[in-house]
Amino acid sequence: MANFVLVHGAWHGGWCWQRVTTALQAQGHRVHALTLTGVGERAHLLSPAITLDTHVDDVISAIEVEELSDVILAVHSYAGMIGTAVADRLPKRLRHLVYVDAVLPKPGESWSSTQSAATQQQRLAAAQASTRFSFPPPDPDAFGLKGADHDWVKRRQTPHPGNTYQAPLNFDVQRVAAIPRTFVSCTQPALATIDPSRLRARDAKFWDGAWLPNAKVVEIATGHDPMISEPQILTQILLDCAA
């Protein structure tokens, strides 16, 4: 039995992992699909006080309270920031870190650092215009979702806490790089805001050469939400990381 902790990206919640969670549990594994403070079923907690550290603490607390070890930690999109922080702070608890079409930061960067100036301005303007300093979700078309999947995600998405956007993350590259890592690159359609991280995942010089020796890249020909559009493929990738 393996311990899986699944962390969603912006605007989502633990609900987005439903199909993967069911598949992993059917094989006898322990699965925790977390919902971060201020979104999903915890949207009533949305406030300007929520920061990147709040979300990092959400994940660390879950791992510690559940007394989990040998964790396969899968982090989606924005949660690449969170997974990197958890790997830095709880390295002995993790067996494998899986970046699911996720942000790959350098030390000192924020979630916004790899995004275009136009995207940054748009999101910050939206946050400033909101009552609780948050920015609204995009149409799930951006994630390549159609039909019932599109409608399901559109109904469930919630605004994301704005003060997670520009918060810098400092971490020890060598400590994180010591943990085996897999980057899942979703290519059809490829979400533009993840493009810089896709390039980094294949760059032998990334993290001053520390990234690649203990990391691999796996591609899925699907959009940005593979846990919804290709749950069987993503489940198998996670199982491979647990082997």
Catalytic positions: 77
Pairwise CA distance, residues 101 & 13, whole Å: 16
**Beta carbons of 119 and 86 less than 8 angstroms apart:** no
Specify which residues 5 forms β-bridges with. 32, 73
152 to each of 7, 187, 207, how far by Cα in Å?
A: 19, 22, 38
Q: Give the distance between the most distant pair of CA atoms in the chain.
A: 47
Give helix 52-65 / helix 80-89 axis angle, nearest 10°: 50
Specify which residues 32 forms β-bridges with. 5
